[in-house]
Chains A and B, each alone.
Chain A
Amino acid sequence: MGMSSNPSYPAGTVITGKWRGNRYVVERVLGKGANGTVYLVQREGRRERYALKIGYDTLELQSEINVLTSLQSCRKRSEHRARKESPLSSYLLESDDFKDRDHTPFYVMRYVEGRPLHHFLSRNGASWLGLVGMTILEKLQTLHECGFVFGDLKPENVMVSSYGEAELIDYGGASPIGRSVKQFTEWHDRGFWNAGSRTGDQSYDLFAFAVLCLRLLNEQGLKSAAQQLPQTRSVEELMKLARELPDKKLSSWLCLALKGGFPGSAQAAEIWRSHIYRGRKTGHETMATPRWLKNAFALSLFLLAFTLYWVFRF
């Protein structure tokens, strides 16, 4: 069933759509997901670059395309209501089959330039978490309002632009609310921690988001908690890690998300916005000036005075 041996297409390969006839030129591989390989492409004759995902399996990829199509139409409806146009925020530009190679299916989406969340934070510092977390929660909220859960939420599936704008990538794990979660990753999975079912609901994504934060702030701690025996593995372990974090407001937000205490992602996002994003510590967190710096400063003042005295004396 269209199962190709997932070859990597070299730069310059032209991917022509069988049904719609558009031609895309491959620049490079962006990444590999569970259902396919994502390439950076340029539409022939145009300047814009897109991300193009080619599937390994017709059925799996079509299922993903179906989810993206419903998200797209849901978003269009809500944008129509709000009377605004945001052509940049689209889930899916088009889908087609690769004409020349076994009719392998593909779809084209907006290219998000950036780096995966964990790389972004280790480069720019954990102080960006408040902002980036905010944008992730907003994306989840939109998704939930359209009746879907993301499922496989982890740092690898979040792309962050240089200015902290986050975008969810790889909707292969997304499924309608109330259905079983299709794809998940052990550490981020509520079932793995004996903390609830694998039925997709808003709390499932919020739980995964909380683990994502813990992983970004204390990966070692999370790792050792995950290595416990399955019977003793519990959400308590995660909450202990959350409580150890220096930011107490973040701690209590995470604990609530881990317990499934938020009524939905709208409330979770709201509380994050008011307590973690806006409530960031200012001023009193600045570092105390080290003594050696004070001494050096005093010495340089003394040297200055001495030099001035010495200059003007002659």
Chain B
Amino acid sequence: MKQILLITDGCSNVGESPVLAAAHARQEGITVNVVGVVDYGTIGELGSREIADIAKAGGGISRIVGTPQLAQTIQMMTRKTVVQTIQQAVNKEVQKILGDGSLAELPPQQRSQVVTVVDELTETSPLRIALLIDASASMKPKLGAVEDAIRDLALSLEAREGRSEIAVFHFPGRSGSEDAMLDIDWTRNVSEVRSLFSRLKMRGATPTGPAIFKVLEHYRYDKLEEHRNYLPGEDDGAREGMIDGYVV
């Protein structure tokens, strides 16, 4: 399972549309969730509409919260999206077998079995989450809270039985040509999430769309790497295979 979690506080203003980028992500099997962080004032109608639209296009969830609720919200969204993704896959199979049988219409005994499978997969299937952090000037006072929330998420992921990894990007990058910069590459280690953004120079532009595209590239690039690095059938591959086995 692959997810992108975008944390922002306003509207994009440079480059391709982030809604288009999110639609691309969804096409490639990556769910996009969006959190809008507001502490003072509001995010504006335009900003909140964009946040909702990105999530919708990316097949994910969006929320607008203050920094105190950030950690909990991210936690909840991630879990919910994982369950949703698995449920969708399982539902498809259920419908194949039972025609129009949505989960709610199944008899209790069968429903209980389906849910056991969903719970099992929620816990054990491999999961990758790319966090994409808006580091435009207005986000600066919130980055401490963002970092805590990331650490908290990493802690929860570490508790899963399945292989769980996060990567962290921020945008815009160092130079005008760099849309997003990789801060932490795929890791399972919570302790790596430390003083992420301390040396960050804030810049004005918010190229949300190009940044999402950059993350998609990273996902793609990584697939190549994966083939090179892992022997077939090892860990990830085996588990991925197990899901297919389960679902089909």
Given contacts A58-B104, A180-B123, A230-B148, are A63 and B158 in contact (CB under 8 A)? Answer: no
A205 at the A/B interface (Cβ < 8 Å)? no
CB pair B155 A191 closer than 8 Å: yes
CB pair B156 A1 closer than 8 Å: no
CB distance from B129 to the nearest CB of A (A): 14
CB distance from A17 to the nearest CB of B (A): 10
B159 at the A/B interface (Cβ < 8 Å)? yes
CB pair B104 A63 closer than 8 Å: no
Chain B positions near chain A (C-beta within 8 angstroms) = 72, 79, 83, 87, 102-105, 107-108, 111-112, 115-116, 118-119, 123, 148, 151-152, 155-156, 158-161
Residue of A nearest to B161 (CB): A179
Residue of B nearest to A61 (CB): B115
1/0 per residue, CB under 8 A from B, across A193-211: the answer is: 0000111100000000000
CB pair A198 B156 closer than 8 Å: yes
**Which residues of A have CB within 8 Å of B105?**
103
Q: Does more than half of chain B's interface fall in helix, strand or loop, or is it mixed?
A: helix
* Interface size, chain A (Cβ < 8 Å): 29
CB pair A62 B155 closer than 8 Å: no
Give bound CA distance, A227 to B151, whole Å.
17
A234 at the A/B interface (Cβ < 8 Å)? no
CB distance from A177 to the nearest CB of B (A): 12
Residue of A nearest to B118 (CB): A59
Name A153-169 residues within 8 Å CB distance of B: none
CB pair B108 A95 closer than 8 Å: yes
Q: How many A-B residue pairs have CB under 8 A?
A: 66
A66's partner among B115, B151, B152, B159 (CB-CB below 8 A) is B115
Give bound CA distance, A2 to B102, whole Å.
9
Given contacts A62-B115, A191-B152, are A96 and B123 in contact (CB under 8 A)? Answer: no
CB pair B151 A230 closer than 8 Å: yes
CB distance from B197 to the nearest CB of A (A): 14
Chain A positions near chain B (C-beta within 8 angstroms) = 1-2, 19, 58-59, 62-63, 65-66, 69, 95-97, 102-103, 105, 178-182, 186, 191-192, 197-200, 230
Give bound CA distance, A161 to B123, whole Å.
36
CB pair B159 A97 closer than 8 Å: no
**Which residues of B have CB within 8 Å of A95?**
108
Give bound CA distance, A62 to B115, whole Å.
7
The 5 closest A-B pairs by CB, nearest first: A180-B159, A198-B159, A2-B104, A62-B115, A199-B159
Given contacts A59-B118, A180-B160, A198-B158, are A186 and B112 in contact (CB under 8 A)? Answer: no
B112's partner among A66, A179, A198 (CB-CB below 8 A) is A66
CB pair B103 A1 closer than 8 Å: yes
Give the residue among A19, A58, A62, A63 with the most B Cβ atoms within 10 A: A62
Give bound CA distance, A178 to B108, whole Å.
26
CB distance from A67 to the nearest CB of B (A): 9
Give bound CA distance, A65 to B111, whole Å.
11
Give bound CA distance, A197 to B102, whole Å.
36
A65's partner among B72, B79, B112, B158 (CB-CB below 8 A) is B112
A1's partner among B87, B107, B123, B159 (CB-CB below 8 A) is B87
Instruction: Please give 9 more A-B residue pairs, beta carbons under 8 A apart, in addition to A19-B108, A103-B104, A186-B72.
Output: A1-B103, A58-B104, A59-B115, A63-B118, A65-B112, A178-B161, A179-B123, A182-B79, A191-B152
| Interchain residue pairs with CB less than 8 A apart (24) | A1-B102, A1-B103, A1-B104, A19-B107, A59-B87, A59-B115, A59-B118, A62-B103, A62-B112, A65-B112, A66-B119, A97-B104, A97-B108, A102-B104, A103-B105, A179-B123, A180-B156, A180-B160, A180-B161, A182-B79, A197-B158, A230-B148, A230-B151, A230-B152
